[in-house]
């Protein structure tokens, strides 16, 4: 895949790709939901925002972003609406649904538990 970033790979490669673990997939979903929970926006703005907030560590390729957004939409977690943007061009704006917010909460909880568990493991010192 040509456009995969060289940083931490969060590529959503479609559901057939066995290499993508559930963890990573779920994490991308969570990130997207979180960003949208803060402010409804379109796909392009999202790709910008992702890079911006993660300090370019998380590089989600454009190619991976859209299928991921579509998946969230088909799951009923976000809805899409065509709106005219500030520059006067029509764009598809995504915002999370009630279902999506609940999902975000759940995944954030999971993530919190997981990351604290991992940190604890990493910080173990030899006795």
* Residues making contact with another protein (CB under 8 A): 1-3, 14-15, 42-44, 47, 61-63, 66-67, 70-71, 73-76, 79, 82, 89-92, 97-99
Count of all residues that appear for the chain in the document: 127
CB of 119 to another protein, least distance (A): 33
C-beta closer to another protein: residue 16 or 21: 16
CB of 125 to another protein, least distance (A): 43
For residue 33, which of 15, 17, 55, 49 has the smallest C-alpha distance?
49
C-beta closer to another protein: residue 66 or 111: 66
For residue 5, which of 55, 54, 62 has the smallest C-alpha distance?
62
What's the Cα-to-Cα distance from 77 to each of 32, 38, 73, 96, 110, rounded to whole Å?
11, 15, 6, 6, 17
DSSP readout, 31-66? HHHHHHHH--B-HHHHHHHHHHHTTTSEE--HHHHH
C-beta closer to another protein: residue 53 or 91: 91
CB of 109 to another protein, least distance (A): 19
CB of 2 to another protein, least distance (A): 6
C-beta closer to another protein: residue 1 or 118: 1
């Amino acid at each position: 895949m040509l456009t995969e970033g060289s940083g931490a790979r969060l590529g959503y490669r479609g559901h057939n790709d066995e290499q993508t673990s559930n963890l990573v997939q779920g994490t991308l979903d969570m990130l997207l939901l979180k960003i949208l929970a803060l402010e409804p926006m379109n796909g392009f703005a999202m790709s910008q925002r992702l890079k911006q907030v993660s300090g370019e560590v998380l590089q989600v390729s454009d190619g991976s972003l859209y299928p991921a957004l579509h998946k969230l939409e088909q799951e009923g977690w976000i809805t899409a609406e065509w709106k005219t943007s500030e520059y006067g061009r029509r764009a598809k704006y995504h915002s999370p649904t009630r279902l999506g917010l609940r999902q975000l909460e759940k995944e954030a909880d999971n993530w919190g538990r997981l990351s604290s568990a991992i940190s604890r493991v990493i910080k173990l010192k030899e006795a």
